[in-house]
Structure 1
Amino acid sequence: MAELSYWQAILRAHDEEMARDPLVFAMGEDIGVAGGTYKATTGLYAKYGEKRVIDTPISENSYTGIGVGAAMLGCRPIVEIMSVNFAWLAMDQLMNNAAKIHYMSGGRIRCPLVLRLPGGTAHQLGAQHSARMEKVFMGVPGLRVVTPSSPRDAYGLLKSAVRCDDPVVVIEHEAMYNLKGEVPDEEYFTALEGVEVVRPGKDLTLFAYNISVHWALAAADKLAKELGIAAEVVDLRALKPLDRAGIAASVRKTHRAIVVEEDEAPVGVGAEVIAILNEECFFELDAAPVRVHARDVPTPYNRRLEKASIPNADDVVAAARKLLGR
């Protein structure tokens, strides 16, 4: 095992896949000479050259479209958009081309595109640089959506995404790039479908993804120490498609559920998970599932207001106490 930062794990996955397959290339704003806004492509420009590590203009729809076209021709581009907020500018290429071409061509054309998107609330970047867009991509048929919560999964999910023949959106959290964790020395792949039980429990299930997994784990520690409550923490990690069976299996064991997310509640991941629980295991529930989520406001720039707008581990503990009548 090696201890790597989140960004180092992403860099390692880039490097291994580019070394293995000359049809893998990377493109995005400042990913070449500068090594990426979050260092995730450091050194690749010097190693592979300007034709395989391409610094693009500030024109998300255009260079994403170039990536889509290259993927249709057999390449495997890894396209980085500097901030998930700017992905709105590329939605035409993603929704109308990348996501639909396999279906509209009768299965004759694939689009093995990887789209890397740093996002989330990351210390006073303002409303226009703090978006959580998971629910947008989840609503597009033809896309896969994954979001790693650890360096191990940042490595394994990106490698799996590059090898996948479908377009894959990889959503990374900007506040986790310096997070350290163990990554196996040998090559490995994380499945693009399925949940992971990162902490087993019997009293209630905390569903979470990317940064909210860490809030859920902190809350589970506090619940165990203070109240003797054994909370199971489930990392959703693959958001499209969601693992209906895995989600239901945990709640059939614990009979209670809380969904923890940094995103606002309306039409979100939490709403979809709760819909799955209602459809798959309604009669297994001992209480109505609840959501812990951000306030439905543009993310403030002011530090105190920004912190007040998003949830934390204490909010998860409070929700668990209420759910359990404790």
Structure 2
Amino acid sequence: LDLFLIQRLIIGAAEEFTSCPAWTFVSDVNEMPDDFDAYNVFPYVNSHPMMLMEPQSADFVGVKIGDILGDAQMEGMAPEDEMEVDERGDGTLTFQSTNPSLAAGEEVTLYFTSEEFEDIVSYQFGLQFPAEQLEFVEFLPATEEPFHTVVAGDSQAAQGKLRLSWFSLDGQGHTAASDTPLFGLRFRALRSVDDFGAIIRIDPGEMRAEAYNIAEQSLSPQLTFGNDITSTHGPLAAEYVLYQNVPNPVSGETLISFYLPQATRATVSLRDAFGKEVWTQTQNYPAGQQQLKVDAKNLPAGVYHYTLRADSFRATKSLVVVR
């Protein structure tokens, strides 16, 4: 659950960790453990009594909460124009997509694949595009596990900014085939587009762009666009697909998307951890991409499971409600 909460902060779905300070302080008399885990941590106290009878000093260790990689930049509190961009990296992780031409009013879904996605544990980056030329329509997560948990923050999509984040749920490195869609972006052209490579770019100023493999090497995400990229996976193969809900975890409304290769009657239902149905919707759908809005504001915190039933197809995924 902690990783999901951190991911929400990364993509801009949350602004802070509630009831969690940015720093905690530990007295220097405490013996810090060599190996940290959930049950072997430093003491967490809110105050330290001192009787000031004469000049005294208190020695302590400051611990930055949430610094998972141990590389938090303390100078991050300096004015923005004084901060240095971290250009470290042991290599690249390139995501590629097609580069179609669009006339004003036309829509396109750009599916991104990678020939370098080998033993990857996580990746994140911010995207920038001209909002006066492109309108962001929707984000499509990968359809194959374990890549389907990628999420996107679109709170600034109207300003031409997106944030993407994916991490391996089991902590292991995963490899994707070169024709496996890792995520998709659907846009509507407000003005004609001749070259997506000239207008969509990774924005290091929006968030740190980085990826990690199982060897803990830092990789720099990059984007390329070309007309010779094909895919035989996911919705391009005209099969039934149930996507991961976005956002996830959720505290208010969330979107459940799915793909139907033909017009049919389908049911989407939501059950709690005990199997009790708490929400369901059945209706006739046309072929193509579908999307449902689910209001989770009145649901207790916990893990839920949503299921898509259409013809002989059935698929279930999990969503997390937080408070």
Give the TM-score taking structure 2 as reference length.
0.23
Find the structure with the greater CA-based Rg: 2
Give the TM-score taking structure 1 as reference length.
0.23
More strand by share: 2
